[in-house]
Structure 1
């Protein structure tokens, strides 16, 4: 018998187009608004190169003309400013019913940060919060961004951890609208690190922080 009161399905995918993942999240969210008894889900994946802006984000933080651009750009319903996704960045989309946990968005954001801080700790790295901002920093560099949307206490969107991405894509934006704090990736501290190995640490830390039993429902390369 499980020691956890809650189960959470884990979808561990490899590379998935952003728009496909977005539509999937919206479907899962809608299903759970209609039937709150459905189980929670954690999706871990990577995206091909794409820029996304939160619903209130300013396009001035894009250093290119998004109306006539070779780059894929989407404005979506999450909070936060502009961010960049690409292979080598591990993205997590928790679809959780916060009525099972705590109906407090600030608490939820801090829990997501805690998942990432514990993941870094597994590598002997000291992740930190930055007062006034959301995300996780490592020696002054932002290595993880967080942006969420919550409807009827059901969550979507989530976090992005820079593991070993091509950092050039970040040079085309002001990441998260923060002008004076650089972005970083774990590969700057651990050169041979891969998303594949980090996935297991993120999943384990997520299970610990949210006190859930993760049930694998999907494999890498699916």
Structure 2
């Protein structure tokens, strides 16, 4: 098993370009696995973890409801946002500047073969990171992602999640609001869940801005511990 994970920080990058890049890495791993099976080889499969910020974009998962996007094409253009229907699970979500988006592209056979455990570990990574900022984040029963004040009238989501997996290889991932412009969430029903608010780390801390790099390092620390991964931090540089 190869527990080494190549960390790449893509900086601010177009959603479609990043999606295409994910697909290339995803296919690379799948192709190695197919070759291993067909030719009875034991070639190691690589693992990747991409960090990225996207320009304003709304994405809809394969089981999502288009009606959860509350604006039309004209309004999208007006607010300088794009829209894509994509192949992950989950409903609608928003990505934009000030949000840390993470795309782990892992061969889970290098770690464990359990998608439920994989999602719970991603959530736990975020929960532990937020705890370092004094926030009690938690899961909300029946709803993916990470929330604050669950079970109260003030419940609010701080991190969305949606993944795809095939042959135990993952793609897509999580979006953690750090310094996000929350006004963009008003144009949709977040993850298709009505009546739930959305928040950002800087808002919760009462700060104008929180260091994105600091949050990334904390996320990686907890990711490494949970997955028992060997993180190759030397590639943590914008490309």
Range of TM-score over shorter length: over 0.9
Q: Alignment partner for residue 131 of structure 1, among 133, 141, 148?
A: 141
Give me the whole-angstrom Cα distance separating, in 1, the residues matched to 2:62 and 2:75: 20
CA distance in 2 between counterparts of 1:5 and 1:38 reads 7
| Cα pair 1:44 1:91 within 8 Å, conserved | yes
- Measure, in 1, the Cα distance between the counterparts of 2:237 and 2:224: 18
- After TM superposition, give the deviation of residue 217 of structure 1 in Å: 5.1
Confirm or deny: 8 A CA contact 1:11 1:217 kept in the other structure. no
In structure 2, the residue corresponding to 1:109 is in which secondary structure?
Answer: helix
Residue 215 of structure 1 corresponds to 232
Unaligned runs of 5+ residues in structure 2 are 34-43, 150-154
Instruction: Report Cα offsets for 1:140-189 as digits up to 9, x if no partner.
Output: 21000000000111000000000011111100000100112111111112
Counterpart check, 1:7 vs 2:4 = yes
Scaled by the length of structure 2, what TM-score is found?
0.87
Structure 1 residue runs without a partner (length 5+): none
Q: Matched residues in 1 for 2:126 and 2:118: separation?
A: 13
* Aligned-pair CA distance for 1:105: 1.3
Distance in 2 (alpha carbons) for counterparts of 1:69 and 1:215: 38
Comparing 38-47 with 79-88, greater Cα deviation is found at 38-47
| Map 1:1-222 → 2, pairs under 5 A | 6-36=3-33, 37-66=44-73, 69-70=76-77, 71-139=81-149, 140-190=155-205, 191=207, 192-216=209-233, 218-222=235-239
Cα displacement string for residues 116-151 of structure 1 (whole angstroms, at most 9, x for unaligned residues): 001101112111100111000023210000000001
Contact 2:2 2:110 in 1 (8 A): no
Partner Cα distance (1:19, 1:32) in 2: 20
User: Max radius of gyration: which structure?
Assistant: 2
Q: CA RMSD in A?
A: 1.7
1:106 offset after TM fit, Å? 1.0
Q: Which has the higher helix share?
A: 2
User: Could you tell me whether the CA contact under 8 Å between 2:54 and 2:97 is conserved in 1?
Assistant: yes
Kindly state the Cα deviation for residue 221 of structure 1 after the two structures are TM-superposed: 3.3
Question: What is the SS of the residue equivalent to 1:128?
Answer: strand
